[in-house]
Amino acid sequence: MGRAKDIIVKVIPSQLANEFVKRHHYSGKVVNNSVLHFGAFLDGKLGGVMQYGNPIDKRNVLNLVETSNKGFNSKWNEMLELNRMAFAPILPKYSESRCIAVSIRMIRKNAPHVKWILSFADGTQCGDGTIYRASGFVLTNIKKNTSLLKYNGQIIADKTLNNSNYKQKGMSAGKLKKMGAKPLTGYQLRYIYIIDKKAQLNCPNIPFSKIKEVGAGMYKGEKTGG
Closest to 94 measured CA to CA, from 48, 127, 126: 48
* CB-CB contact of 87 with 178 (8 Å): no
Return the sign of the alpha-carbon dihedral for residues 76, 141, 17, 47: positive
Nearer to other proteins, 77 or 147 (CB): 77
Burial of 142 (0-12, 13-18, 19+ CB in 10 A): buried
205 interacts with other proteins by CB under 8 A: no
159 interacts with other proteins by CB under 8 A: no
Q: Quick one: which of 114, 117, 138, 216 contacts other proteins (CB under 8 A)?
A: 114
31 interacts with other proteins by CB under 8 A: yes
Q: Quick one: which of 6, 57, 63, 76 contacts other proteins (CB under 8 A)?
A: 76
79 interacts with other proteins by CB under 8 A: no
Categorise residue 129: left if φ over 0, alpha if ψ from -120 to 50, beta otherwise.
left
Residues between 162 and 201 with contacts to other proteins, criterion CB under 8 A: 164, 167-168
How far is it, in rounded angstroms, from Cα 149 to Cα 155?
Answer: 6
Contact positions vs other proteins (CB under 8 A): 8-12, 14-16, 18-19, 21-22, 29-32, 34-36, 39, 41, 44-46, 72-74, 76-77, 80, 106-107, 110-111, 113-114, 164, 167-168
